[in-house]
Chain A
């Protein structure tokens, strides 16, 4: 039937009925109506969470994407206040001409402000600016037992403020967010790409470029084995110091339908990875271009998640603390290459030590790795089981926003503050993820 919602990975596939909220004034009554369902409802923005953290146990989602208005914009100070359903793309469209940019952006601009807070997202500049939550001045939170939203900041309702940043939408429905933007002088990015042949090289490049560049990230060839293991492309960038402030024109490529089986198999993947690696000349290559392809290469193909077919896919994203990072990442990459599975998109990034105001923020000082796997029956019992062991023993953790598999034991160890969030959870809200990791 029309207008059902799913998660980005389309796994687990638990169809959800959508209940859009178009006006802030309707939020309280809609939430109360959905709260009458004995099982929990949940806010849902633009559906970019991969696993089951955006799926309601009741199957009835309160969709906030239609709450897409700005409340105010101060272009002197670079402070915007906007409804939870405004996407980062919409923020950029409005802010760039005034010389402001998102202080932190994940790899897609199609997430909503509410989602960015609830998952405390991070980006290529985590090593200098921390997570999205570090730049949130305040937000309004609608609880099911109140008729008016609560203004939450580090000063007011501070417990809810800290619990809601990275709180997976469980502490209430965010009505609006006030965000401090970052000044830019140009919408262009000066970039350098460096082809590297080993994991050790990744670490030395990180060491070097994290000091001089706002943005650093690496693509890893997850299928490379033996002497090629850990090879990839390191890519860094800084905002150009002077120039034009142009909003990137939108592109219209789209995967029109979901093929019955995944198009990501070992053959296509090998071909992709080899070609991509060799497209880059050895050594360092400097360039300049628009911010959009630099930050959001995949956004140029709408519905790219469909290439994984009707079974969907899972993303595995972990972070390993610095001390254990190099050894653990080598082990992880070896296990993945051994499995022959994986995806074109495998991203490695050094995270910094700026603390997040959120209680359940994912990043920690260390190295994060993210990659997609087409869903198949043995994915969790074989490969993920092995990877989880490595992450656990290295003192790392997994990212709830991407997750569809982590065990309750692991989650509670990774995020010891979960009980504080549980204590502040709105009793009307419950996701499949939260039920799985706290009640199982």
Chain B
């Protein structure tokens, strides 16, 4: 049984992780924007064996409310064993190029809000001196690709942020895991036409994530073969890379 805080609890990957933990009779504090969906997720985890499920409705772009949410979470759970940060959106790069307000909003949803949350969360975890912070970044953060660089920039920011945070919190026994999923078949990617061979399901990705938390891994690609794909992509010389449309 673990005490688990999930931010972005309505996301398909978060739900799949939560189901694995629910089967272990864990206690949950779930945070998400859409209350109707959040209640459906909570009822599901309850039926699947969770010892307790509390919910909190919050749009993560409302930075000023983070502190209240964290207070409620730590009060409810006591000790936080795992905090999974899973909220995010997948903006259209083309629209972000035409609409600056949209680009900044998307950058906030995927980047700033995570940094804001982690900043406050880290201080509480540092005091607690135990637990794991697991953050869903993306393979998109490994390189700025023309098809997806606004999203990629936000994910690069949180990957780098997590790297620094990991080194800081390591000294007090708190672990930070950076998760870089590839293509996952979720509502977020529904509009994209993705190659079937590379498409993972949320339960597959969730098994990787929960194992990585148990093994205190620093950073994972999931499914594993993305580490090879990204090794290749990271090593394409810029002179060549700038000619691609990937």
Q: Which of A's residues lie within 8 Å of B, judged by CB?
A: 1-3, 20, 22-25, 66, 69-73, 80, 82, 93-94, 97
A80:B47 contact, CB within 8 angstroms? yes
Chain B residues with CB under 8 A of A2: 193-196, 199
Closest to A18 in B: B190
Which label, helix, strand, loop or mixed, suits the secondary structure of the A interface?
Answer: mixed
| Bound-state Cα–Cα, A1 to B12, Å | 23
B43:A71 contact, CB within 8 angstroms? yes
Identify A20's interface contact among B23, B47, B190, CB under 8 A: B190
Chain B residues with CB under 8 A of A1: 193
Identify A71's interface contact among B23, B37, B47, CB under 8 A: B47
Chain B residues with CB under 8 A of A66: 12, 187
Which label, helix, strand, loop or mixed, suits the secondary structure of the B interface?
Answer: helix
A-B contact pairs, 20 of them (CB 8 A): A1-B193, A2-B193, A2-B199, A3-B185, A3-B194, A3-B199, A20-B190, A22-B12, A22-B187, A23-B37, A24-B40, A25-B36, A25-B37, A69-B41, A69-B44, A70-B43, A70-B48, A72-B47, A94-B48, A94-B49
Closest to A1 in B: B193
Contact residues of B between 42 and 82, Cβ < 8 Å to A:
43-44, 46-49
Known: A2-B199, A3-B196, A94-B49. A69 touches B40 (CB 8 A): yes
| Bound-state Cα–Cα, A1 to B47, Å | 37
Q: Write out, one digit per residue, whether chain B residues 167-196 have a CB within 8 A of any chain A CB (1) or not (0).
A: 000000000000000000101001001111
B23:A23 contact, CB within 8 angstroms? no
Chain A residues with CB under 8 A of B49: 94, 97
| Bound-state Cα–Cα, A126 to B196, Å | 39
Interface size on B, as a range, is 20 to 34
Contact residues of B between 179 and 237, Cβ < 8 Å to A:
185, 187, 190, 193-196, 199
| Bound-state Cα–Cα, A93 to B194, Å | 31
| Bound-state Cα–Cα, A2 to B194, Å | 6
- How near does chain A come to B28, taking the closest CB pair, in angstroms? 14
Identify A94's interface contact among B40, B47, B187, CB under 8 A: B47
Chain A residues with CB under 8 A of B40: 23-24, 69, 71
* Residue of A70, A71, A97 with most partner-chain B CB within 10 A: A70
- How near does chain B come to A179, taking the closest CB pair, in angstroms? 12
* Residue of B23, B43, B47 with most partner-chain A CB within 10 A: B47
Closest to A86 in B: B44
| Bound-state Cα–Cα, A300 to B5, Å | 35
Closest to A71 in B: B43
- How near does chain B come to A404, taking the closest CB pair, in angstroms? 24
Chain B residues with CB under 8 A of A72: 43, 46-47
- How near does chain A come to B210, taking the closest CB pair, in angstroms? 15
Chain B residues with CB under 8 A of A80: 47
Closest to B48 in A: A94
Chain A residues with CB under 8 A of B12: 22, 66
A69:B43 contact, CB within 8 angstroms? yes
- How near does chain A come to B186, taking the closest CB pair, in angstroms? 8
| Bound-state Cα–Cα, A3 to B37, Å | 25
| Bound-state Cα–Cα, A72 to B185, Å | 26
- How near does chain B come to A72, taking the closest CB pair, in angstroms? 6
Give the 6 A-B residue pairs with the shortest CB-CB distance, closest first.
A70-B47, A69-B44, A73-B47, A2-B196, A22-B187, A70-B44
Chain A residues with CB under 8 A of B194: 2-3
* Residue of A2, A23, A71 with most partner-chain B CB within 10 A: A2
Chain B residues with CB under 8 A of A23: 37, 40
| Bound-state Cα–Cα, A3 to B198, Å | 11
Closest to B40 in A: A69
Closest to A81 in B: B47
| Bound-state Cα–Cα, A73 to B22, Å | 14
| Bound-state Cα–Cα, A25 to B46, Å | 20
- How near does chain B come to A140, taking the closest CB pair, in angstroms? 13
Chain B residues with CB under 8 A of A82: 47
| Bound-state Cα–Cα, A72 to B46, Å | 8
| Bound-state Cα–Cα, A24 to B10, Å | 13
Chain A residues with CB under 8 A of B44: 69-71
| Bound-state Cα–Cα, A22 to B194, Å | 18
- How near does chain A come to B198, taking the closest CB pair, in angstroms? 9
